[in-house]
Every structure is written in structure tokens, then in C-alpha cells.
Amino acid sequence: MTGTPKKTEIFHSVQYLRGIAAGLVFLAHMPDGLPHAWNRAFRGGIGVDLFFIISGFVMAFTILKEGQGPKAAAEFLYRRALRILPLYAIATLAMVAVTALLGEKLPSWSYILSSITTFPLTGEDGKYLFPVLFLGWSLSFEIFFYFILALLMCFRKASWQAVGVILAALVACGQIWQPEGVLSSFVTAPILLEFSLGFFSYYLWKRHRDWLEAHSRNLMIVGSIIFIVALKGFDGDPHGAMPKMIITYFGGAPSWRAIGWGLPSFIFFMAFLSLEKRFETKPSSWLKSLGDSSYSLYLFHAPVIHLMVPFVGTKYFVLTFIYLAVPLAVSLLAYRLFEKPLMNLMKRRKKESGNQEQSKDAFVLPKRSAGTEIGP
């Protein structure tokens, strides 16, 4: 890079939404036996869809600062892998350790190592096999999205049009030919469209920030109502009503999760984004902490809850608060012990290589001066 680096500021709304998304997924995995369990009250799995929207938005900004050509693409993939895979490997091993402590059947080492790669796995029955840490299914899509961006970087700057056309073409192929294999269903899954929605949302924000901020109150009311409807659905059945058309993510009918959960997440994301100016003047320390540790919470809550159930039980409602507190505490510890040091390592490497990109510990955007747009 040449010239003076641009000043940056923490983008509070995106950071807070990361914490909210992780929290929704966490609540969705509360033990079934708890009285009035959260996972029966609403479908927190929509947090994954919100994560995909956020990821598309973050990558749209990140890609604009990258160079072009195979070398830049390889460097981009390396940094993304360093951000995603080490912590996922640690969380996977934590799940294996919990399995051993509970005396359950241990997965084979080949299954463990295959899971850590995030490559979609095929079981003996020919169907999709969830990784050892089942949450890894979403990381498979995340990594695939990064590969698409890297491919575009080899030839040209990635734009929302190019990303949208590629992902839409893949999904269209899946809807036309209805593939049955795991890998072919994976690369044509409609849920991939959520990344393009996130990518597009950056361009909406860049061009219409003033309008969005001027109408933030109304946008937040409408966005919240739509998101709550998607979150709650129309009945108490976790797989009833609205989710009937959206519950799958590896192709086949029904498969349009991108409509039922993706679009509401996109609308809610844009509405929340419009509050950025308010968050700048009145930041929330607890939401920031939740956002900072969101990836750790997303990964580590599952092994912690799995370990707790045999010892804590699920008979009394008051136990709900224990199931809330302990995974949160462990996730914050994991963030301090593992995630933050890894991100500091990334930051040092970027500094040594002359790359001025900020660490993703908090999402950042170029600071906007009066009358100018955000972004390059």
C-alpha cells in the first residue's frame, strides 16, 4: 500500500449484531429437557443466517482493500483460514474431550481430522455427515464463499454484481438439475445467496447511509417485526409453519431457507445498521464484549452444554440461568486464551508484511469525513 493509511473507527452495529447472532444460536441449543426451553420458544438457528449476512458485508469491505492476482488471493485465503480454522480445531478437540469424559463412543481420528478441514462429509449411507462439532456445517459454507471471492480476485476486483451472479448461477443449477450428491448439493445450496445479500448490503450502506440513518426509527420497527416473525414463526413447533420451506441447507425440497430466514435477516441487518450513529455516541460495553467473543461463543457453547447436561440435569427452570452463565463464561475465557492471541498474531503478521488492514477483533470501516462516503 502507498500513501497515508486511512483512519478507522469501530463499526459498533456490526460488532453488536455478531454477538446477537451468536447468542441466538446459543439459545437454540439449550437442552430440550428444560421447562419452557428457549429452543422451543423460537428458532434461534436464524442466527446462522444473520451471520452469513454479516460475513458478506464484512467481506465486501475487506475485498475492496485487497490487491488482485493469484498472490493476493492466496494471502486472502491464508488470513481467512488463520481466522477460522485454528479456533474451530480447538473447539472440535474440546467436543472430543467432552465425549471421552462422558464415556461416549469416540469418533475416529480420520473423522476428527476430516471434520476440521470443513470439507462437506459424506456418510456411509451417502447422505451428509455432520462434523464432530456439528456447528461446523456453517463454516463449510463460509470457507466456500471465501474461495469464490479468491477466484474473483485472481481476475478482477470482486463486486456485488459478480458475487451475486456466481452464487445465483450455482443455486439456479441446483434448482434445475436437483443434484443428490452431498458435494453437488452443497455448492448449489440456496443458503449461499445470503452471502450475496450481505455483500450487496455494503453497497447499499455506502451509497445510502444518510437516508438509512434519517429513517432509522421506522426501519428498526419494520425490521424488528419481520425478524421476530421469522424468529417465532406461526406456531410452537420448531419445524412448523414458516420453517417448512426453509429448514434445509443442502439442496432438495424444501430448501429455500434463504427466503424464510435470509431475507428477514437482511432487512433486520440493514435496520440495525442504520442505528450506527447512535451506537457511536452511546456504545454498549456488554454488547461489544459479546460481539468480540461471538465466534468463541458460537463454537464453544455446544461442548460446554453437552458436558453440563448429565451433571446439572434439566428438571428445574432455575437451571436455565446456569446453562446461560457457564457457556458464556467459558466462551469469554476461550476468547481470551485462544481467539484473541490468534488475532493478535494475524495483526503482527500484517504489520510485518506492510499490510495496514485492521484486526477483525472489531469490524472497522474507514472514518467518514463530512460530506464523503464510507469506503474506497
113-167 confidence digits (pLDDT tens): 999 999 999 998 888 999 999 999 999 999 999 999 999 998 877 787 889 999 9
User: Is it the case that residue 372 has pLDDT exceeding 60?
Assistant: no
pLDDT of residue 207: 93
**How far apart are the C-alpha atoms of 82 and 360, rounded to whole Å?**
12
Q: Give percent of the chain with pLDDT exceeding 70.
A: 82
Please state the pTM of the whole predicted model. Answer: 0.86
Q: Tell me the mean pLDDT in the region 310-339.
A: 92
Average pLDDT score, the chain: 83
User: Is it the case that residue 360 has pLDDT exceeding 80?
Assistant: no
The residues facing 8 across adjacent strands are 366
pLDDT band at 241 (very low <50, low <70, confident <90, very high): very low
3-state secondary structure of 69: coil
What distances in angstroms separate CA 336 from CA 61, 283, 293, 330, one per listed residue? 26, 21, 9, 10
Q: Tell me the mean pLDDT in the region 302-327.
A: 92
Summarize pLDDT for 197-240 with one digit per residue, the tens: 999 999 999 999 999 999 999 999 999 999 988 887 644 343 33
User: Is it the case that residue 365 has pLDDT exceeding 60?
Assistant: no
pLDDT band at 38 (very low <50, low <70, confident <90, very high): low
Rounded to 5, what percent of the chain is helix, strand, coil?
65, 5, 30
